Amino acid sequence: MIHSKIPKVGTSIFAVMSKMSNDYNAVNLSQGFPDFDVSPELIYLVNDYMQKGLNQYAPMPGILPLREKITEKIEKLYSQKYNPETEVTITAGGTQALHSAISTVVNEGDEVIIFEPAYDSYAPVVLLNGGRPVYIKLEAPNYTIDWQEVNKAVNSRTRLIIINTPHNPSGSIFSEEDIQMLSKYINGTKILILSDEVYEHIIFDGNSHNSIAKYPNLVDRSIIVGSFGKTYHATGWKLGYCVAPEQIMKEIRKVHQFTVFAANTPIQHAISDFMEHEEKYLELSSFYQKKRDFFNSMLQNTGFNIIPSKGTYFQAVDFTDYTELSDVDLSEKLIKEFGVASVPMSAFYHDNAASKSLRFCFAKSEQTLELAAEKLDNFYKSIS
């Protein structure tokens, strides 16, 4: 028999809900992936590099032209210079970047602060490395941080604080005040920051992205994770990156090389070229804000209370007012009986905390969103 290192961890909720969605032929607004095509130009570039024979291992940290493009983008957007040679690594998706970063810095007995609801890959990796997750619940309904709770949680064993902005699953974002409070409570400590910024280019209503890269006093202790899959509608390509100061990145690369060694070669070359089109990521906020607004206009007739989404391509809704069902029971009922898939918000808590919220993905065509809204309206009519 094998002794499980993470016995309380099961199959990812995203895989579970997508399978159930397929089983019942439901409209899948659960797992976070678009149902529209990748840019034909980007597909052409990938194929072109394959045809040119660039199909063998890339350099372990990633091809240098792509790393250079990343550092140029960060400097232009956030006024922070990173060395592409020593401070950027291309990874097999954002999740692998998170895994390698956490595995690098967390040791037996270290405590890691995680804000819940949280993306489900953080805590299992902490546990795999002998660390102890310390959970702090974001405050409903807008999923804000109670910084006094953070102050109480920080101690000599705290090794890492994981932040995620824009935030999956709630759609909330870090404010300037949040960054100031984070700085205040880690000042004078050896605490590191892991900043999950995979939705950095999807932020709404004129707000700006408060990347950790904007703050020189935090950069020296921070690891930032990004994702090309989210930016270029190509989640199945699994290409991401992380940036960090050289002394941290040196250690991350030691873990990275024995996890995947290197990421997909022709896709790296293609994205390096495609990043010349800055508008492709600079216009992403407007692109997804239109989808958010369209979907929310459809939701007006469904009885859900819409929780403001300030970023990401997710919309959280509250259903306290019109059904006694739990979020798990409601999500299953919506799939099996009404043909639309969501994710219960309780799945983003380590203890499956009671919740009356669901998360929908609106990275879909208008036709898909209309169909989903129609099915949700049918459910609302059935209980009204």
Secondary structure class of 188 (helix, strand, coil)? coil
Residue 15 confidence (pLDDT): 79
Secondary structure class of 227 (helix, strand, coil)? strand
Residue 352 confidence (pLDDT): 85
β pairing state of 111-116 and 192-196: unpaired
193, 182 Cβ separation under 8 angstroms: yes
Beta strands in the chain (DSSP E): 27-28, 88-91, 111-116, 132-137, 158-164, 192-196, 222-227, 240-243, 305-306, 314-318, 340-341, 343-344, 357-361
Encode the chain (384 residues) as per-residue pLDDT tens digits.
Answer: 788 888 888 777 777 888 888 899 999 999 888 999 999 999 999 999 999 999 999 999 999 999 999 999 999 999 999 999 999 999 999 999 999 999 999 999 999 999 999 999 999 999 999 999 999 999 988 899 999 999 999 999 999 999 999 999 999 999 999 999 999 999 999 999 999 999 999 999 999 999 999 999 999 999 999 999 999 999 999 999 999 999 999 999 999 999 999 999 999 999 999 999 999 999 999 999 999 999 999 999 898 999 999 999 999 999 998 788 999 999 999 999 999 999 999 999 999 888 899 999 999 999 999 999 999 999 999 887
Place of tokens 């895994």: 99
Q: What share of the chain is helix, strand, coil (3-state, %, to 5)?
A: 45, 15, 40
Residue 8 confidence (pLDDT): 81
Residue 222 confidence (pLDDT): 98
Q: What is the dihedral of CA 56, 58, 59, 64, to 10 degrees?
A: 140
13, 119 Cβ separation under 8 angstroms: no
Residue 59 confidence (pLDDT): 98
Residue 139 neighbours by CB distance under 10 Å: 11
329: left (phi over 0), alpha (psi -120 to 50) or beta: alpha
Domains of the chain: 13-31+283-383 (3.90.1150.10), 40-279 (3.40.640.10)
Burial of residue 217 (number of CB atoms within 10 Å: 0-12, 13-18, 19+):
exposed
Q: What is the dihedral of CA 210, 215, 221, 222, to 10 degrees?
A: 20
Burial call 53-74: b when 16+ CB within 10 Å, e when fewer: ebeeebeebbbeebbebbbebb
* Stated length of the chain: 384
DSSP state of 189: S
DSSP string covering 246-312, please?
Answer: HHHHHHHHHHHHTTTSS--HHHHHHHHHHTT-THHHHTHHHHHHHHHHHHHHHHTTS--EEPP--BS
Cα-to-chain-centroid distance, residue 3: 30
**Angle (nearest 5°) at CA 145 between 143 and 149:** 135
Token reading at 64 = 């240098």
Q: What sign for the dihedral angle of Cα 163, 62, 38, 27?
A: negative
Q: CA of 187: how far to CAs of 156, 183, 192, 193, in Å?
A: 13, 6, 11, 12
What order of strands is seen across the sheet that includes strand 192-196? 88-91, 240-243, 222-227, 192-196, 158-164, 111-116, 132-137
375, 27 Cβ separation under 8 angstroms: yes
30, 328 Cβ separation under 8 angstroms: no
Residue 319 confidence (pLDDT): 93
Residue 261 neighbours by CB distance under 10 Å: 12
